Chain A
Amino acid sequence: MADVAQLSTSLRRGTLEFCVLAMVEKEDRYGTEIVRRFGEERNLAASEGTVYPLLSRLRRVGWLDSRWSESPTGPPRRYYRLTDAGRAALQHFRTEWISFRQTVDRLVGTDAA
């Protein structure tokens, strides 16, 4: 069981951040919205709170921008926006990911599935 958790942690590392970037590619979203969206994905099931440090890092490296905005219902929301650098990084990941996935599929034998 611990190994299963370890595996998904390892798989998440290095890929989850691009899922975040893709999530704000078309429109700006606020933190809780991004976090909830991830909560719905069983395979990504990291606990919600771990997404915030990730958002923080993506902002620090300049892939995301954020701005505060009033909310009609609750506390102010921090909206995230994809920067040009973030867009380029996402594009680069897409290219890399396809060939990476194909190689792993071929070696592990999941390409026929």
Chain B
Amino acid sequence: VTHNDTDTTVSEYLADVAHRVSDLPLLQRRELLADLESHIEAERIERNAESPGQLLEILERLGSPEEIAAAARAEAPAGASPPPVPAAPRRRPGVVVAVVVTAVVLLLFLIVAVLSFFVSGGESSEPAFPAPLPGQSALPTPDDPPAPLESAPR
């Protein structure tokens, strides 16, 4: 039994914990793993634990990765990530729906703007809006300011 075997045991243990808290905020996750790693290291040195049996004892007192992950989740900031399984699928469709709705609204707005530009520009004899000056759009926009014919030659 070499030192490497016990190192493997420790890194497997930590990887298991990391896997189970992968939904928690990054900083919290890193902090927890650093705390556990430093705890195991301190226990090994201060209790002079060399054998795999002694190492397992340390890990056993520390608790199962499952227990620790559950505790970490219970102490997570409120709202940051409640129960992991229902939260993730619920949040993502919400974002998608918001993006799609925004895109559709913007598209509709654009269509309406373009149409009304053509309507007012094309049929200046029958303006849809109260009396735009000749040569001016009924819907002036900041991006495309109506230019008086004399001052802005194009």
Contact = CB atoms under 8 A, between A and B. Distances in A.
A47 B63 contact: yes
Q: Is the interface of A mostly helix, strand, loop or mixed?
A: helix
Interface of A: 31-32, 35, 39, 46-50, 52-57, 60, 71, 73-78
A12 B44 CA distance: 28
B126 interface: no
B39 A54 contact: no
Given A49-B36, A55-B35, 10 more contacts: A31-B38, A31-B39, A32-B38, A47-B64, A48-B62, A52-B68, A56-B35, A71-B42, A74-B42, A74-B46
B35 A31 contact: yes
B36 A75 contact: no
Given A47-B62, A48-B63, A73-B46, A54 B38 contact: no
Contact of A75 (B38, B70, B75, B77): B38
B133 interface: no
Contacts, number: 76
Contacts of B37: 75
Contacts of A57: 75, 77
A55 B28 CA distance: 11
7 contacts: A47-B61, A50-B70, A56-B28, A56-B31, A56-B35, A75-B37, A75-B41
B71 A53 contact: yes
A77 B38 contact: yes
Contacts of A73: 42, 45-46
Contacts of B75: 53-54, 56-57
A47 B66 CA distance: 11
Interface string B60-88: 01111001101110110100000000000
A48 B39 contact: yes
A82 B6 CA distance: 36
| Closest A-B pairs by Cβ, 4 of them | A47-B63, A50-B71, A49-B68, A74-B45
B43 interface: yes
A54 B71 contact: yes
A49 B70 CA distance: 11
Contacts of B32: 52-53, 56
A52 B38 CA distance: 11
A48 B43 CA distance: 12
Contacts of A50: 63, 67-68, 70-71
